[in-house]
Amino acid sequence: MAKDEITKGYTWIGTTPDRPDGLDKVTGRARYGADFSLPNMLHGAVVRSPHAHARIVKIDATKALALTGVKAVVTRADLPTGLTGEDLYLQENTLAGEKALYDGHAVAAVAATTALIAQDAAKLIEVEYEVLPHVTDVDEAMKPDAPVILPGCADHSVPEGSAPNVARYIDFGRGDLDAGFAEADVVRSAHYTTEATHQGYIEPHAAVGQMGADGKGEMWVCTQGQWYIRKMCSAVLGTDPAQLRVTPSEIGGGFGGKTTIFMEPLPLALSKKAGGRPVKMVMTRAEVLRATGPTASASMDVKMGMKKDGTITAARVDFRMQGGPFPGASPVGEALSCAFACYDIPNLGHHGWEVLANRPKCAAYRAPGSPMAAYAVESMVDELCRELGLDPIEVRLKNGVKEGTRASFGPKYKRIGLVETLEAAKAHPNYAVELGPNQGRGVASGFWFNHGGETSVSMAITEDGTAQVSVGTPDIGGSRASIALMAAETLGIPYENVRVNIVETGALGVNEPTHGSRATFASGKAMWEAAQGAIKEMCKRAAQKWDIDPEAVTWKDGAAHPAGENAGKFEPMTIKEIAAEMGKTGGPISGHHESTPSGAGPSFGTHVVDVEVDPETGHTKVLRYLVVQDAGTAIHPAYVEGQYQGGAAQGIGWALNEAYIYGQDGRLQNPIFLDYRMPVASDLPMIDTVIVEVPNPGHPFGVRGVGETGITPPLPALANAIHAATGARLRKLPMNPPAVLAAIRAKG
């Protein structure tokens, strides 16, 4: 539960009031993507390729257009040409051009007066395909004779003679690997693989788009970032972003998957073709799984050397990750940078290959790249600890990074909290529970960079002395509450007197999405800066009234005060008094802040899991689970805990069960929730949490983003626990019952 003992002299920060949008969300009133409708609205449907790789010979929409109620059909021929780079890939992904590149790739879209007619019409659009050989496996895709997905995809980094589906090669390190391995008492290497998983947000993508012949448009859409939607849709459609106004709905989960576009340009394109009538488009679950952005699948090698005392002397990783059919989507770069981020190792080598495959275009998924890297590296650390008979927490403490350590990916760390998470995990009662037969304990740590990003925030003082804050980062997990708490703290007014609005693209400068664990950090920091502007103006108004220098006025407890004895003796002027007469004293009072803030302090966490493995079935039951993570300062501790628990649950799903399963035909075989089985309530125990607070020097209240790190340690922690329970080491995800049983039997 929320940690009441954390006090820093704050009035509001660290408390757990009801979230401002709570009432709307427990009564069914909150409007999500599919809940929005407009007069005279049409409904859209998409025709998707049933083939993993096929040349599109012909698209014939004659029969569809003849159906009563059908108003428009859009194919790639309706979109502008000449795009390059990521804009071209976004357009290719929105509607296939010459080739369909994966099972589920959109080929055409239709708008009709009802959703049922649109679905019927989609079936009447005839597409002639010439089926091509395909490849979905990352290692197969790296073979020299693999089917070529995008000829000439390689950028300058790729060595000559590489396989044709290698789009990028990354290579960095430090020290002397050979010398480092020679120093070690034990050197081991192993191969690990992970399968693609989906973010699994419960809300399918949905949008209502309207665009006239003049290129002016509006869109209501569930998204993590309305400005990204505006920029990307405009690029794909060849329209002016300033003429597209995008309003975000409430969002039913994203986890990175709603930071980009999939079908979103289509309602706009259909609307334009249908004379400007608004078009609503809602994906089915199968469309979400087949044709939005899951994460990469990975093939990874790790080599590590350790001394008998636990000192890690050298390490090397070789990561190969497919990100779908377009360059730039695979998170291999992030995975390499995260691989050894928890460790201070003098000799390091990192090698990565970004590979194309006939799978959907990857999107971000909570700490993209980091969970796979952690699975490989944290498993290997555990293998070495077991071989040398060392405690896994002690070894991590011995090699763990701290303030001043040069990170494996380059910069020196400022104040960070890895060691504190390890100490707290070691001291937690879960770490001392005695285990029974077939039970085992696993430990792993994890890392995420955290992100600042373009941010624009406004604060306006209301006539009654309350405050409204306009932010551009959609509220996915309680950020309205955290920003309102920080605003209340900054202004010295009650939490209830702050209204936080998530606004449309016309209301603020550009904001990056709610991604990179940045909403509470970046929008919170910008809110604080904006509030300083409003406070300065309020002090000025008081100074005017008192006829003293504005510099002689300070702000505290929601009121302007004379700064000291010399400033003069005046009764404090409250925000309510100042606001009541602001129209007569100089006009509305507000504050703004625009920046790309630096100083998003990195996030570290340590997880401890106990499992029991059924030796008859291979089923792994999670007995208890502990998340320890550094939050910097927990603004609303209950929602911080929620991030820890949710990240852990997603990681548990990835570790034990979730996977994209492709058939020999290249088609996704499990595109519904029955078969893409995410953890349900009966799969999990309560998830224990410890919020460590090592304040981030880069934020006025010490905030570190908390959203992402939590998904990282569960993959290796569970592998380590299963090994402890069974003696079998699983180096391939998911570790589902058949896989665990086979590993137990192979061990003999």
Partner 1 sequence: MSRIHVTANVNGDEVEFLADPRETLLDCLRDHLGLTGSKEGCGTGDCGACSVTLNGRLVSSCLVLGVEAQGAEIATIEGMAKDGDLHPLQRKFVEHAALQCGFCTPGFLVAAKALLERNPDPTETEIRFWLAGNLCRCTGYDKIIRAVQDAAAEMRGAA
DSSP-assigned beta bridge partners for residue 354: 168, 321
Contact 374, 716 (CB under 8 A): yes
Angle at 331 between CA 405 and CA 91, to 5 degrees: 145
- Minimum Å gap between C-beta 737 and partner 1 is 17
Closest to partner 1 by CB, 361 or 366: 366
Closest to partner 1 by CB, 66 or 202: 202
Q: How far apart are the first and last CA of the chain?
A: 43
- Minimum Å gap between C-beta 37 and partner 1 is 8
Contact 560, 542 (CB under 8 A): yes
How far apart CA 720 and CA 392 sit, in angstroms, is 10
- Minimum Å gap between C-beta 590 and partner 1 is 30
Closest to partner 1 by CB, 7 or 27: 27
Closest to partner 1 by CB, 213 or 680: 680
How far apart CA 118 and CA 283 sit, in angstroms, is 13
Closest to partner 1 by CB, 284 or 311: 284
- Minimum Å gap between C-beta 198 and partner 1 is 10
Closest to partner 1 by CB, 180 or 200: 200
Angle at 377 between CA 641 and CA 395, to 5 degrees: 80
How far apart CA 685 and CA 244 sit, in angstroms, is 46
Pseudo-torsion of CA 314, 355, 90, 523, nearest 10°? -10
HEC-encoded secondary structure of 356-387? CCCCCCCCCCCCCCHHHHHHHHHHHHHHHHHH
- Minimum Å gap between C-beta 364 and partner 1 is 15
Angle between helices 714-726 and 637-656 (to 10 degrees): 50
- Minimum Å gap between C-beta 687 and partner 1 is 5
- Minimum Å gap between C-beta 480 and partner 1 is 11
Chain residues binding partner 1 by CB under 8 A are 16, 18-19, 21-32, 34-35, 114-116, 199-204, 250-255, 282, 284-285, 476-478, 636, 638-639, 641-642, 645-650, 672-674, 678-684, 686-687
Closest to partner 1 by CB, 4 or 130: 4
DSSP 550: G
DSSP 280: E
How far apart CA 15 and CA 23 sit, in angstroms, is 19
Closest to partner 1 by CB, 590 or 670: 670
- For residue 146, what are its two tokens? 């693999």
DSSP-assigned beta bridge partners for residue 592: 458
Closest to partner 1 by CB, 197 or 313: 197
Chain centroid offset of residue 32 CA: 19
- Minimum Å gap between C-beta 362 and partner 1 is 18
484 contact partners, CB below 8 Å, separation of at least 6:
20, 469, 495, 498, 499, 500
Q: Where are the alpha helices (DSSP H) in 322-437?
A: 332-339, 370-388, 392-399, 418-427
Contact 293, 260 (CB under 8 A): yes
HEC-encoded secondary structure of 20-45? CCHHHHHCCCCCEHHHCCCCCCEEEE
- Minimum Å gap between C-beta 45 and partner 1 is 14
- Minimum Å gap between C-beta 678 and partner 1 is 6
Closest to partner 1 by CB, 35 or 183: 35
- Minimum Å gap between C-beta 91 and partner 1 is 28
Contact 130, 311 (CB under 8 A): no
- Minimum Å gap between C-beta 200 and partner 1 is 5
Closest to partner 1 by CB, 24 or 98: 24
Closest to partner 1 by CB, 43 or 316: 43
DSSP-assigned beta bridge partners for residue 689: 627
